[in-house]
């Protein structure tokens, strides 16, 4: 029997987040205003004995990992399959100018009509990413994973074998805000969510009971 615990953290607030620009596989730097949340996240995780760290290769996720791992001698291992969903032709465009296209593509769970990815594409990537990370780790390892918001939704669907509506219901009341922490445990290939995305303070007080 082998158990690995993943601590999934969404990247910190970025300049594109501030400006209302859609941000899938395009990238932008972390915003100064969002750093206090990441510092709280780092402090909440300071006693977790991480053995590994995997990150989306996008800079906003790598930089988030760097902040959380400050003072630790743990390499950050970029993994392409942890990238955010590709929003195609509207990726990197102002949300206000393309909100109806975004709503339609999300409604059908498919950005392929505008040269992006489908929900199935992202689910396939998330399953592959977590199988790889699990296989690379030893029993009892604690693993930091820094990634993205929309990706987390599809990750839940894939790992827990649930549909979109069920995933959205489980993410209430918070969603997946910048810098929030989620805890996912995997034992012999079976996943359970110990903590859905929560604040640093919520992480400090969570019971550890799977939900």
Specify burial of residue 68 (Cβ count, 10 A radius: 0-12, 13-18, 19+): buried
DSSP secondary structure, 107-174, as one string: HTTB-GGGTS-BHHHHHHHHHHHHHHHHHHSPTT-EEEEEE-HHHHHHHHHHHHT--HHHHHHHTTTT
Is 201 assigned a catalytic role? no
> Which region holds residue 92: left if phi is over 0, alpha if psi is between -120 and 50, else beta?
left
**Among 11, 117, 157, 158, the one annotated catalytic:** 11
Per the residue annotation, which of 40, 84, 115, 161 is the catalytic one? 84
Helices H, strands E: what count in the chain?
Answer: 8, 6
Please name which of 30, 3, 17 lies closest in space to residue 189, comparing C-alpha atoms.
3
In 45-94, which residue ranges form alpha helices assigned H by DSSP? 59-68
| Known active-site residue 11 | yes
Task: Give the integer Cα–Cα distance in Å for 77 and 169.
Answer: 32
The catalytic residue positions are 11, 84
């Amino acid at each position: 029997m082998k158990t690995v615990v993943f601590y999934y953290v969404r990247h910190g607030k970025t300049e594109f987040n501030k400006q209302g620009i859609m941000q899938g596989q395009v990238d932008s730097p972390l915003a100064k205003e969002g750093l206090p949340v990441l510092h709280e996240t780092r402090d909440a995780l300071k006693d977790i004995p991480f053995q590994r760290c995997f990150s989306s290769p996008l800079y906003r996720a790598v930089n988030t990992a760097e902040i959380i791992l400050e003072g630790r001698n743990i390499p950050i291992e970029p993994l392409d399959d942890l990238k955010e969903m590709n929003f195609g032709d509207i990726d990197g465009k102002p949300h206000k100018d393309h909100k109806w296209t975004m709503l339609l593509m999300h409604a059908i769970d498919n950005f392929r009509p505008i040269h992006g990815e489908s929900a199935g594409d992202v689910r396939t990537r998330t399953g592959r990413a977590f199988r790889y990370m699990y296989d690379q780790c030893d029993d009892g390892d604690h693993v930091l994973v820094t990634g993205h918001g929309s990706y987390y939704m599809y990750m839940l669907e894939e790992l827990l074998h649930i549909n979109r509506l069920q995933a959205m219901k489980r993410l209430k009341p918070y969603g997946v805000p910048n810098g929030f922490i989620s805890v996912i445990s995997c034992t012999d290939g079976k996943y359970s969510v110990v903590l859905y995305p929560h604040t640093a303070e919520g992480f400090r007080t969570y019971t550890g009971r799977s939900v």
